[in-house]
C-alpha cells in the first residue's frame, strides 16, 4: 500500500458522538420545553409530591435540634417574662387593696358625716354599656357614633365615659344609634373640680382644629393651679355625676398682658381610641324636681292698692 493513501490523523481513542454545541442546544430546548409544560400542564406535580413526601421524615429529623433549641430559649424567656409580670401584678394588687381599704373607710366616714349633717346620699346613676361604631363625618366637630339609641333608653344629654374618665355627652339620639360629642369638642363644656384645692372651674374643648385637648377659661392669672392637678366632675350642672375623672392640667401660661391665665388640660379618656363605653342617665333625672315658686297674691294686691 502506498504511503500517500494512509490517513495521517490518528484514530480517536473513544468513539465520538454529537458535538458539544449540539448537545447544549438540545438539552436547553428540552429544559425550556419541560418548564413550559410544567407551568401550563403541571406534569411534574405528582413527582414533586412523591419527593416531598419521601424527604419529609429526613427534614423533620434534621430540624429537631433547631426546634428544641428555639423552644428552650422561648421557654426560659417566657418564664422570665411571666415572673416579671407576676411581680408587677402582685405589686399592683397590693396598691389596689390598699386603695380599696382606704375607699371603704372613706365611704363609711362619708355616710356617717352625711347622716350627721342630715344630707341626702349621692344619686346612684344607672349605666348602659355601648360600643363605638365610627367617627362622625363632620371634620369640624369631634363626635362618635355608638350602637345604642332611643330603643335602649338612651336620653339626650346623657354623659358617656370609658374605663379612664369622661368621654363626652350624648347630643343626638336615633332609634338604633346615638351621637356622642367628645369632651374635646369646641362646643362642649364640663364643670370640673380641682381635687387638690377644691376649686370649681369650667373645662371647654380646645378651639383649635386637631388639638384634642381641653382648656380652663376665665381663670385669674394668680389662680392656685399647678401642672398635674387632677380635674373631676363637680356635679353642679345636673348632667355629670360628681367625682368622675375628666382631665389633668398639662400647661399653664400666665401672661402679663392678659387678666386671665391660659390653662391647657389633657383629657384622661381615650377620645381617639375608645371602643367600649358606658352611657349614664343624666343626674337631673335622678334628682327631685325644683319646687315651683308661687307669686304672693296678697303682696301684689297691696302693691296695686298703693
Domain match, 160 and 202 both: yes
Residue showing cell 411534574: 44
Q: Are residues 57 and 142 in the same domain?
A: no
Whether the CB-CB separation of 234 and 247 falls below 8 Å is answered with no
Residue 229: give its domain's CATH number. Answer: 2.40.10.340
Q: What is the mean pLDDT of residues 3-24?
A: 66
Residue 205 scores a pLDDT above 80? yes
Distances (CA, A) of 43 to 32, 48, 54, 227: 14, 10, 19, 75
231 and 278 together in one domain: yes
Reported as a single tens digit per residue, the pLDDT across 268-280 is 998 888 888 999 8
Question: What residues contact 152, with CB distance under 8 A and at least 6 apart?
Answer: 128, 130
92 and 227 share a domain? Answer: no
Distance from C-alpha of 204 to C-alpha of 263, rounded to nearest angstrom: 11
Domain assignment present for residue 298? The answer is: no
Residue 76 placed within a domain? yes
**Same domain? 278 vs 212:** yes
Whether residue 3 is predicted with pLDDT greater than 80 in this model: the reply is no
Could you tell me if 152 and 282 lie in one domain? yes
Closest CA to 184 of 260, 273, 282, 253: 273
Cβ atoms of 247 and 205 closer than 8 Å:
no
Amino acid 13: pLDDT: 57
Amino acid 209: pLDDT: 58
Which residue in this structure is represented by grid cell 356622642?
180
C-alpha 237 chain-centroid distance: 29
Domain encompassing residue 72? 24-117
Determine the pLDDT at residue 136.
Answer: 83
In a domain, 169, yes or no: yes
pTM of the predicted structure, to 2 decimals: 0.56
- What average pLDDT does the segment 134-144 reach? 84
pLDDT band at 15 (very low <50, low <70, confident <90, very high): low
Is the predicted pLDDT of residue 10 greater than 80, yes or no? no
CA separation for the pair 104, 114 (Å, rounded): 15
Residue 166 banded pLDDT, cuts 50, 70, 90: very high
Total domains present in the chain:
2
Give the Cβ contact number of residue 216 at 10 Å.
23
Q: With a cut of 50, say whether residue 194 has pLDDT above it.
A: yes
Q: How confident is the model at residue 1 (pLDDT cuts 50, 70, 90)?
A: very low
Q: Are 40 and 180 within one domain?
A: no
Judge whether 13 lies within some domain.
no
Please give the average per-residue pLDDT across 183-202, as a whole number: 91
pLDDT of 287 above 60:
no
Specify whether 242 is located in the same domain as 94: no
- Over residues 64-79, the pLDDT tens digits come to 888 888 888 888 888 8
277 DSSP β-pair partners: 130
> Is the pLDDT reported for residue 301 higher than 60?
no
Q: Identify whether 18 is part of a domain.
A: no
Final residue of a structural domain among 117, 149, 164:
117
pLDDT band (50, 70, 90) for residue 201 = very high
Banded model confidence at residue 186, pLDDT cuts 50, 70, 90: confident
Q: Are both 48 and 157 inside the same structural domain?
A: no
Same domain for 198 and 90:
no
Does 122 fall in a domain? no
Domain identity same for 282 and 141: yes
Mean pLDDT of 36-49: 81
Q: What is the mean pLDDT of residues 9-20?
A: 65
Residue 11 lies in a domain: no
- pLDDT of 305 strictly over 70: no
Among 117, 150, 168, the domain boundary falls at 117
- Identify the bridge partners of residue 144 per DSSP, sorted by sequence position: 135, 180
Evaluate if residue 290 carries a pLDDT over 80: no
Residue 190's pLDDT is what?
A: 93
Whether the per-residue pLDDT at 150 is higher than 60: the answer is: yes
Q: Which of 62, 82, 117 is the last residue of a domain?
A: 117
In a domain, 5, yes or no: no
Q: Contact 169/188 with Cβ under 8 angstroms?
A: yes
Are 84 and 141 found together in one domain?
no
Task: Determine contact, residues 166/283, Cβ cutoff 8 Å.
Answer: no
User: pLDDT tens across 217-261, in order?
Assistant: 888 888 889 999 999 998 888 888 888 899 999 999 988 888 888
Amino acid at each position: 500500500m502506498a504511503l500517500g493513501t494512509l490517513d495521517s490523523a490518528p484514530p480517536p481513542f473513544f468513539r465520538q458522538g454529537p458535538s458539544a454545541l449540539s448537545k447544549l442546544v438540545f438539552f436547553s430546548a428540552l429544559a425550556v420545553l419541560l418548564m413550559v409544560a410544567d407551568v401550563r400542564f403541571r406534569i411534574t406535580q405528582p413527582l414533586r409530591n412523591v419527593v416531598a413526601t419521601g424527604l419529609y421524615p429526613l427534614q423533620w429529623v434534621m430540624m429537631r435540634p433547631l426546634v428544641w433549641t428555639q423552644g428552650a430559649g422561648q421557654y426560659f424567656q417566657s418564664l422570665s417574662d411571666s415572673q416579671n409580670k407576676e411581680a408587677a401584678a402582685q405589686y399592683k394588687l397590693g396598691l389596689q387593696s390598699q386603695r380599696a381599704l382606704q375607699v371603704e373607710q372613706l365611704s363609711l366616714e362619708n355616710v356617717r358625716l352625711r347622716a350627721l349633717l342630715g344630707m341626702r346620699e349621692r344619686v346612684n346613676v344607672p349605666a348602659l354599656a355601648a360600643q363605638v361604631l365610627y367617627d362622625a363625618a363632620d371634620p369640624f366637630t369631634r363626635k362618635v357614633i355608638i350602637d345604642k339609641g332611643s330603643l335602649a333608653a338612651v336620653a339626650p344629654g346623657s354623659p358617656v365615659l370609658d374605663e379612664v374618665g369622661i368621654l363626652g355627652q350624648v347630643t343626638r339620639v336615633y332609634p338604633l344609634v346615638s351621637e356622642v360629642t367628645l369632651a374635646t369638642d369646641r362646643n362642649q363644656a364640663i364643670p370640673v373640680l380641682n381635687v387638690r384645692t377644691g376649686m370649681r372651674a369650667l373645662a371647654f374643648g380646645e378651639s383649635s382644629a386637631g388639638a384634642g385637648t381641653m382648656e380652663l377659661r376665665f381663670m385669674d392669672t394668680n389662680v392656685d393651679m399647678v401642672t398635674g392637678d387632677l380635674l373631676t366632675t363637680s356635679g353642679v350642672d345636673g348632667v355629670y355625676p360628681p367625682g368622675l375623672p375628666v382631665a389633668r392640667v398639662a400647661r399653664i401660661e400666665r401672661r402679663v398682658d392678659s387678666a386671665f391665665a391660659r390653662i391647657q388640660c389633657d383629657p384622661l379618656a381615650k377620645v381617639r381610641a375608645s371602643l367600649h363605653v358606658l352611657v349614664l342617665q343624666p343626674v337631673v333625672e335622678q334628682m327631685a324636681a325644683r319646687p315651683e315658686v308661687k307669686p304672693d297674691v296678697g303682696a301684689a294686691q297691696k302693691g296695686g292698692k298703693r
